[in-house]
Amino acid sequence: MRNYWKVIFIVVIGFCIMMTFGRIASYISYEKIGQMYYEQISAIVGKVVEEIPESEVAIMQSLKQLEEGDILQGQAILRRYGYGGDTLQLVHNQRGLESLMKVNSLVMGIIFSIILITTYGIYRILKQRFGHLQNYLIEIAKGNYKLNIEGVSEGKLSIFEDQIYKTTLALRESKEEQEKEKLNLARNIADISHQLKTPLTSMGIMTDLLLDSEVDEQNRYFIDQLNMQIERLSGLVQVLLKLAQFDAGTVKLKRQEIAIPSFIEEVVEMLEGPIKKKEIQIQQDGEESYFVGDRNWTYEAIHNILYNCVQHSPQGAMIKIEWSQNPIYTEIIIQDQGGGISIEDLPHIFTRFYKGKNASKESIGIGLAMAKTIIEKQNGAIKVENVGEGAQFQIKFY
């Protein structure tokens, strides 16, 4: 910015210098022209007085008191001899006047050219350096924290470049530290999940053995409840393990064409138990379409969303599943009749471990967050809004 004002300052000073030289040259020109006319009039006066001595007094009086009548009379005499305003030339000093005007124009042109070239050169230098900075900042925005700035040179702009360099270094170190912490956290969660998996499996086997043995009704009830909690805890461990894999960046998502009709039918079949229990009707509508993604992971995402809709739908409700495809994206829409999501919960519905007001006691608050992570990792997007009597989930795969 300081260099920018420097350019403006140089242009203003150059313009002032040019105007000063112009005034000096004009003043010299006027002086020279006045001197030329003086010499010419002197020659005429001398010639006339030499030929007619008694005319000296009349000529001096005419020079001191020029009257319009005298001027008109003199012009008439000159015209009789073929001299007019466009033909009368001061032959003796004509070349000197022309030379003076040429020198004046040349000096003005040189000064203006120097100012123009200097200004353009400074502009090109500033443009090039700011261009390098712009490209550098674009790379930083992409996450490329390289540690060199092209075009760095001495000058006040280099102070700004040096500050960007230091900031970039701090950002890179911060990013590396965050990546390490994130990876360590994911590894710790994975380790804990694996360590929990073994005792949970053992506890499940033991509860199954207890159920097979002879126990009274009260103990059987407690064993059933214990078995349900073990299954719930096992599911949570599995989800945490999967989230840790995504956070650590170890999940390798496949890219394959998946036909939507058969895919949706498969998801619905896996939820046949809860759907029949609530006597929910599933309405499917859409033409033969497909999307590109990982079948297993996307299955889990759609399963979590549909299961959430089933949980919040009343007895005998209807869930609509529609899909469509255009040249830009494939869209899947799932809409329930569960009364919708409260305004307070709507912005946080995809937040991990967030439980809304209408969430069931068994809800962990992680299924929708998992679904969002899976969809977005596959160049997709998901949003939810209240439509009609319930919530509508809109999923797009670009």
Q: Which of 196, 229, 248 is the last residue of a domain?
A: 248
Mean pLDDT of 67-82: 72
pLDDT of residue 145: 59
pLDDT of residue 214: 73
- Amino acid letter, residue 264: I
In a domain, 226, yes or no: yes
210 and 321 share one domain? no
Quote the percentage of the chain above a pLDDT of 90. 10
132 and 238 share one domain? no
Quote the percentage of the chain above a pLDDT of 70. 72
- Cα–Cα distance measured from residue 52 to residue 46, given in angstroms and rounded to the nearest whole number: 10
196-215 pLDDT, tens digit each = 777 777 877 887 777 777 77
- Amino acid letter, residue 257: E
Supply the CATH number for residue 240's domain. 1.10.287
Mean pLDDT of 283-288: 89
Contact indicator for 13, 5 with CB cutoff of 8 Å = no
pLDDT beyond 50 at 91: no
* Window from 7-11, 52-56, 90-94, 149-153 with minimum mean pLDDT: 90-94
Radius of gyration of the chain (CA): 47
- Mean pLDDT, the chain, whole residue set: 76
Q: Which residues pair with 284 in a beta bridge?
A: 321
219 and 302 share one domain? no
* Window from 112-126, 153-167, 293-307 with minimum mean pLDDT: 153-167
pLDDT of residue 362: 62
| Residue 97 C-alpha from the chain's centroid | 62
pLDDT beyond 90 at 396: yes
Q: How confident is the model at residue 148 (pLDDT cuts 50, 70, 90)?
A: low
C-alpha distance from residue 285 to each of 159, 260, 333 (Å): 63, 11, 10
Nearest CA-CA partner of 365 in 199, 168, 208, 232: 232
- Cα–Cα distance measured from residue 19 to residue 345, given in angstroms and rounded to the nearest whole number: 72
206 and 131 share one domain? no
Tokens 């999501």 — which residue?
341
| HEC string for 81-138 | CCCCCCCCCCHHHHHHHHHHHHHHHHHHHHHHHHHHHHHHHHHHHHHHHHHHHHHHHH
Q: Which of 232, 248, 264 is the last residue of a domain?
A: 248
Domain extent at residue 31: 2-141
42 and 133 share one domain? yes
- Cα–Cα distance measured from residue 206 to residue 223, given in angstroms and rounded to the nearest whole number: 10
260 and 244 share one domain? no
Q: Which of 248, 279, 304 is the last residue of a domain?
A: 248
Nearest CA-CA partner of 182 in 106, 102, 118, 249: 249
267 and 391 share one domain? yes
Q: How confident is the model at residue 92 (pLDDT cuts 50, 70, 90)?
A: very low
In a domain, 232, yes or no: yes
In a domain, 173, yes or no: no
Query: What's the total number of domains in the chain?
Result: 3
Supply the CATH number for residue 326's domain. 3.30.565.10
- Cα–Cα distance measured from residue 37 to residue 50, given in angstroms and rounded to the nearest whole number: 20
Cα four-point dihedral sign 23, 29, 32, 36: negative
119 and 240 share one domain? no
In a domain, 24, yes or no: yes
pLDDT of residue 323: 93
In a domain, 105, yes or no: yes
235 and 265 share one domain? no
Q: Are strands 290-293 and 318-325 parallel, antiparallel or unpaired?
A: unpaired
Contact indicator for 274, 307 with CB cutoff of 8 Å = yes
Mean pLDDT of 361-368: 72
* Window from 30-39, 106-115, 307-316 with minimum mean pLDDT: 30-39
217 and 121 share one domain? no
In a domain, 150, yes or no: no
Mean pLDDT of 6-12: 60
Mean pLDDT of 293-301: 90
